[in-house]
Structure 1
Amino acid sequence: MNAAHSDTQLSPTAAVAGNVATERFRASGKTVNAHLSPEASRARVNLLATRAVRALNDIVLEERVTYAEYNALKAWLIKVGEDGEWPLWLDVWLEHSVEDVATDHRQGNKGSIEGPYYVPDAPELGPTDTIPMREDEEGTPLRFFGQVRSVDGTPLPEARVELWHADSDGYYSQFVPGIPEWNLRATFRVDAEGRFDLRTMQPAAYQIPTDGACGQLIAAAGWHAWRPAHLHLKVGAPGHELLTAQLYFPGDPHNDDDIATAVKPELMLEIAPNSAGSGHQTEYDFVLDPEPASP
């Protein structure tokens, strides 16, 4: 990570970021299952839990796992919980497959993982506006503009474009001490034609926290901890499915080996010099799928 704001913020730790992510998840309401009856839920849990346990036992038998390795796993699982890193572990190594299943029916834009650093209720701004940032925010200015449409090409004037991303040090507000609460987080309304024209700063690539349990796994396996630079977005409109996405910058060395396996070709931005000022600009349109008809 860079050190541009190291004089104004404390160094983050896995435990701090992990426990904030855990509390955010608990408060999100995502643990409420409103779609299945108790009987159906029980059957689904039985199916998935049985398959997961069987798969782990198959690995033990096929790879002849020793008690030393088993006890190391047990100690590591305990530490994941103590560090509050289950949201990070699940979002980095599992969510990309869940996201693929959840959106494989869509005809509009491709999505990507939400990740552990989303915070709802960001300040709402107009269709041509600047994201909240520090007066001395480091980095390259970025103009980000485009249009939100339905799959039939109809502009969606009631759409909202929610944007959040890391700063030039690779840190997210509300997960690291010393950063203003809503720094580089906002929800933008679109205009009557579904268009938006935003100003922000290009984020940096960053390593996920490595001083906790996830870092132990990465080191033990000889992996790297890097995520390529990316913008997080949620784009929604009445009567349409919410799109959650990450958009990536060409040339990043970790586009091809993202630790979270979340990069897709359709999510790559095209970057050009800013025709309306300093820094860069990029145009990206969002096409949303209508919500499925009720059965």
Structure 2
Amino acid sequence: MEHDTIQNRAGAGAAGELADVDEHTITALVNGRIAATAAPRLAQIVAALTRHLHDFAREVRLDEDELMAAIAFMTEVGQMSDARRQECILLSDVLGLSMLVTAQSRRKPAGCTEATVFGPFHVPDSPEHAPGDDIANGAPGAPCFVRGVVRTLDGTPVAGAKIEVWQADEAGCYDVQYAGLEQARARATLRTDAHGAYRFRSIVASPYPIPHDGPVGRLLAALGRHPWRPAHLHFMITADACEPLITHVFRAGAPYLDADAVFGVRQSLIAEWRLHPPGPGPGGVTLAQPFYTLDFDFVLNASAGVSESA
């Protein structure tokens, strides 16, 4: 009886008769069945999604074969996602949705380091390293020494900030893309010192293609788009009384800065990797091959409710 009452209430027209469903009335009918007891934010999101999704289908005159092809595509995207590869994030990235949400959700005051997309290759609990350690751990690529300071907007150094860093090697692959590789390479967790400083050794960043051997890659090819990303390092920085920062540092002059497959480049995040001849390097080491250095400071925003002067 309760089921019949719900059906009648949701499907009845103004005169209490069963509503006539067509391509124009269906949207109001679907949203009319969202219960008053539903969580307000969930109801808002689903109602808006329904309106836009239905408007899209009407605009392009979507047919049944195209709908089934889309369902098959999304099914394959989900099936290809696992702990080592996130095809769903790739799809969001290449459609610009990830960057749109980041831009509107992670706005920073002027002077703070800007955020960009997270990407699909972060791994939680990466190995902890001491300042100056070589985190490459055998990853192929020219040596690169990275250093900088983490501070707040008023210039206060942030001691003990947790810095997670990860990158692709010169072959364009992250460690998790190598079958059978158990140890982390070009990936680490570090902490800033009492002066907010950090430093580590790794390999120089190189351009690389996002994984394009799956459904997202086929979509890019069908659209005449390339899968390449400009050279960059990933950083995720967390510290007490500060907003978390997820960002990249992009290599100045590298290809694809103006054509990033996932739209993640921001001008303020482009920095110079300086090339040095063989010889003495940072930390007293001597290198028999050319090496690079990168200096980049991060400016964190105070958490909501925390004053910069506190």
1:289 matched to 2:301: yes
The equivalent of 2:204 in structure 1 is 202
The CA deviation at 1:48 is 1.6
Secondary structure of the residue aligned to 2:271 is coil
**Distance between the aligned counterparts of 1:112 and 1:208, measured in 2?**
16
The CA deviation at 1:105 is 4.0
Amino acid in the other structure paired with 2:46: A
Amino acid in the other structure paired with 1:129: D
TM-score in terms of structure 1 length = 0.79
**Distance between the aligned counterparts of 1:67 and 1:127, measured in 2?**
58
The equivalent of 1:117 in structure 2 is 121
Structure having the higher Rg:
2
**Distance between the aligned counterparts of 2:162 and 2:213, measured in 1?**
37
What does 1:106-145 correspond to in 2, within 5 Å? Answer: 106-107=109-110, 108-134=112-138, 137-145=139-147
Alpha-carbon contact 1:205-1:230 (below 8 Å) kept: yes
Secondary structure of the residue aligned to 1:118 is coil
The CA deviation at 1:201 is 0.2
**Distance between the aligned counterparts of 1:105 and 1:138, measured in 2?**
35
Q: Structure 2 regions of 5+ residues with no counterpart? A: 1-35, 82-86, 282-286
Q: CA separation of 1:41/1:177 partners in 2, compared to 1, >3 Å: closer, same or farther?
A: farther
The equivalent of 2:105 in structure 1 is 102
Alpha-carbon contact 2:108-2:114 (below 8 Å) kept: no
TM-score in terms of structure 2 length = 0.76
Alpha-carbon contact 1:236-1:242 (below 8 Å) kept: yes
The equivalent of 2:251 in structure 1 is 249
The equivalent of 1:159 in structure 2 is 161
Q: Spell out, residue by residue over 1:94-139, the C-alpha distance to the aligned partner (whole angstroms, 9 max, x if none).
A: 21112112211444111111111111111222222221411xx422
What does 1:206-285 correspond to in 2, within 5 Å? Answer: 206-274=208-276, 276=281, 278-285=290-297
The equivalent of 1:81 in structure 2 is 78
Alpha-carbon contact 2:136-2:201 (below 8 Å) kept: no
**Distance between the aligned counterparts of 2:184 and 2:142, measured in 1?**
19
**Distance between the aligned counterparts of 2:275 and 2:211, measured in 1?**
33
Higher relative contact order structure (alpha carbons within 8 Å, sequence separation ≥ 6): 1
The equivalent of 1:10 in structure 2 is none
The CA deviation at 1:263 is 0.5
The equivalent of 2:56 in structure 1 is 59
**Distance between the aligned counterparts of 2:92 and 2:261, measured in 1?**
12
Q: Spell out, residue by residue over 1:19-61, the C-alpha distance to the aligned partner (whole angstroms, 9 max, x if none).
A: xxxxxxxxxxxxxxxxxxxx99822122122222222222222
The CA deviation at 1:92 is 4.0
**Distance between the aligned counterparts of 1:221 and 1:247, measured in 2?**
28
Alpha-carbon contact 1:273-1:280 (below 8 Å) kept: yes
Amino acid in the other structure paired with 1:60: A
Judge which range, 58-67 or 224-233, deviates more. Answer: 58-67
The equivalent of 2:174 in structure 1 is 172
Judge which range, 205-214 or 273-282, deviates more. Answer: 273-282
**Distance between the aligned counterparts of 1:41 and 1:253, measured in 2?**
48
The CA deviation at 1:177 is 0.9
**Distance between the aligned counterparts of 1:180 and 1:269, measured in 2?**
32
The CA deviation at 1:91 is 4.1
